Amino acid sequence: MNAVLFDMDGVLVNSEDYWTTFQREEILPAAVPDRDVDVAEVTGMNYRETYDYLESEYGTAISREAFETRFEETAREIYREHVDLLDGLEGVLEQLDERGVAAAVVSSSPHAWIDIVLERFDLEGTFDEVVSAEEIDARGKPAPDVFEHAASEVGVAPEDCAVVEDSENGVAAGARAGGFVVAYRIDAHDDLDLSPADAIVDSPAELREAVLEAVD
């Protein structure tokens, strides 16, 4: 593997713990009050695509504007006040740099949210590319578009990229792009189908080992 494409939520930072609670307890019941929507259905999607999906599949009880505003307010709070960086991430990035392996952030989140994380943890300029699915003409995860675009941006074929993901939609997207997918299983997600992944890990130490093995 000549590049590593990292998802942000649940991989670089432990934001999925907060997002899962927000979606399960607040936004999904408000948007679709008469249906019990599994958070896994929408995890990994851009929040605007999430609204489109809910509207198409179930019909929504709140306006798009109200839905998006609640997401944006929650995002600022989560990223500025709550999240922690993945243990050992900076060491992994240093070793990738030593090996001449490109590293990119590839997220469904808006670039502004990614920037909050990069600035807060002094990671600005650390990654070769930062790709937000919202900013490119692409379908969101589980479609492979965002990973294919990111691979192109770092100058590597998708099949020569390792993809690090935690969500079912993200794992599916990485596999469809042809990458070597490392699925990071976290407590925020239960009973996900991670079978398309090439490796499944349960801790930061296992994640580090799997990524470095992939590039070596």
Contact between 106 and 127 under an 8 Å Cβ cutoff? The reply is no
Cβ contacts of 57 within 8 Å, gap of 6 or more: none
Please count the helices (runs of H) and the strands (runs of E) in the chain: 9, 6
Q: How far is CA 9 from the centre of its chain?
A: 5
- Spatial separation of the C-alpha atoms in residues 34 and 80, rounded to whole Å: 33
Predicted confidence at residue 101, as pLDDT, reads 97
Predicted confidence at residue 146, as pLDDT, reads 93
Q: Return the structure tokens found at 41.
A: 């259905």
Predicted confidence at residue 26, as pLDDT, reads 94
* Domain range list for the chain: 3-14+83-215, 16-82
Could you state, in chain order, the average pLDDT of each consecutive group of 10 residues for the chain (216 residues)?
A: 94 90 94 92 86 96 96 95 92 94 94 96 95 82 92 96 94 96 84 90 94 93
- Spatial separation of the C-alpha atoms in residues 206 and 43, rounded to whole Å: 23
| Phi-psi sector, 149: left (phi>0), alpha (psi -120 to 50), beta | alpha
Predicted confidence at residue 139, as pLDDT, reads 79
For 162, phi and psi rounded to 5 degrees? Answer: -95, 135
**Which superfamily does 3-14+83-215 belong to?**
HAD superfamily/HAD-like (3.40.50.1000)
Q: What is the pTM of this model?
A: 0.89
| Other C-beta atoms lying within 10 Å of the C-beta of residue 112 | 13
